[in-house]
Amino acid sequence: MPHRLHRGDLPDDYVPGPAIAVDTETLGLQPHRDRLCVVQISRGDGEADVVQIPRVGPEPVVLKRVLADPAVTKIFHYARFDLAVLFHRLGVMPGPVYCTKIASRLARTYTDRHGLKDLVRELIGVELSKQQQSSDWGADTLSQAQIDYAASDVLHLHALRERLDTMLAREERSALAQACFDFLPTRARLDLLEWDETDIFAHS
Amino acid sequence: MPHRLHRGDLPDDYVPGPAIAVDTETLGLQPHRDRLCVVQISRGDGEADVVQIPRVGPEPVVLKRVLADPAVTKIFHYARFDLAVLFHRLGVMPGPVYCTKIASRLARTYTDRHGLKDLVRELIGVELSKQQQSSDWGADTLSQAQIDYAASDVLHLHALRERLDTMLAREERSALAQACFDFLPTRARLDLLEWDETDIFAHS
Ligand SMILES: Nc1ncnc2c1ncn2[C@@H]1O[C@H](COP(=O)(O)O)[C@@H](OP(=O)(O)O)[C@H]1O
Ligand SMILES: Nc1ncnc2c1ncn2[C@@H]1O[C@H](COP(=O)(O)O)[C@@H](OP(=O)(O)O)[C@H]1O
């Protein structure tokens, strides 16, 4: 699997293009507790840049600039979590956002399986290994298996987006999906303020 | 309580001003099942226009125009429900939207009482009667008690908005509240498509 490993930041001369796939690996699922360890990015060309974020170190200025760039769409799977982590840890709210999990919920109403593995299997015909998902992403030196796993999580997001966009258009739900994507940065901010369990939109 | 009762639509010469308080009465809480019976509107001047919507009849063209007017902010309490009903029944999605329940959730984190009665009591010092809330709003002739109740539900929303906006500004949550208000039309559309119980933003 072709990918480049970086320590601390993307290279200075990184050029994102109109859309990048982004995923993060953290020490756990609590953004206030668990630090950001890895940010993976792919331009959709079958390659990935895997950026290891050390516990202490200088700001990843190139990465932050790319994430904040309004001309670059950021494709996530379950953006809600990554946005909260990235905003909390790097102080930048990525946007504009596309989320393959929400697109799948709106387009694939014939199933309740909206995991990345399910999407990649059904829509692309590739079997993803999720073995390294729960591993020590805070390690100083990542294993080759970890790096491969991290890369594999972003390599298919562009293709997924294309398939899902076709389905959303067919069902006339593209605008609805876009409105949900646009709310995701706010959804992530609410999570960080502890409005994660209580639904802010509920009656009571 | 000074208010005007109308049958079928607002008067032709109705002028809304920059913001109107809006509430609806329906035959129940299921927008696909329960029809829209009454739409109440106040300009914040202590008066209300109460529009009875007959089961069959011509389109309320003035009302629809006012609700759709992008220059007129619509203040609701629990907008999510009213937006779904108005969109489903009148085919118009009101906007821009302000919701006193969401503003209260974001500003008044010291309590879990975000009902209209609670808000009006604490922030304005007025005791609202909720006696007519569950009454037959589909009746051909509404009782005086019903009309008074319908009016009372919109008379305080402008004042509530003012108080809540002050609190939101103090806690630096105004932008967060605005982003939630902006999502409400989408939230209502999702409800009408049966994404009411399943949280579209949940992981699984
Ligand atoms: N409550 C939760 N349960 C499982 N995964 C969660 C989660 N909250 C956030 N996530 C993230 O959602 C991703 C998995 O999504 P899905 O189950 O839809 O495939 C995981 O990313 P990684 O695969 O990058 O670790 C994980 O970080
Ligand atoms: N599940 C629910 N339970 C109670 N009220 C609901 C509701 N869904 C929508 N509503 C609406 O929310 C309003 C009450 O909000 P609150 O409880 O915060 O005061 C009611 O409006 P009306 O008072 O116009 O009938 C009612 O129509």
Q: Is the pLDDT of residue A1 over 60?
A: no
Question: What DSSP string runs through A11-43?
Answer: -TT----SEEEEEEEESSS-TTTSPEEEEEEE-
Question: For residue A2, what pLDDT band results from cuts at 50, 70 and 90?
Answer: confident
Sign of the dihedral through C-alpha A60, A61, A63, A68: positive
pLDDT tens for each residue of A12-38 = 999 999 999 999 999 999 999 999 999
Q: Please give the average pLDDT of every successive group of 10 residues along chain B, which has 204 residues.
A: 90 97 98 98 97 96 98 98 98 98 98 97 95 92 96 97 98 98 98 92 94
Question: For residue A133, what pLDDT band results from cuts at 50, 70 and 90?
Answer: confident
The domain locations on chain A are 3-193
pLDDT tens for each residue of A48-66 = 999 999 999 999 999 999 9
- Which CATH superfamily groups domain B3-193? Ribonuclease H-like superfamily/Ribonuclease H (3.30.420.10)
Is the Cβ pair B203, A78 closer than 8 Å? Answer: yes
- Out of A193, A195, A201, name the one closest to residue B187 (CB): A201
Which positions in chain B have a beta carbon within 8 angstroms of at least one beta carbon in chain A?
A: 78, 80-81, 101-102, 105-106, 114-115, 176, 179-180, 182-187, 189-190, 193, 195, 199-201, 203-204
For a substitution probing ligand 2, which of B81, B101, B154, B156 has the most ligand atoms within 8 Å of its CB?
B81
Predicted confidence at residue B133, as pLDDT, reads 84
Predicted confidence at residue A198, as pLDDT, reads 84
Contact list in B for residue A190 (CB cut-off 8 A) is: 176, 180
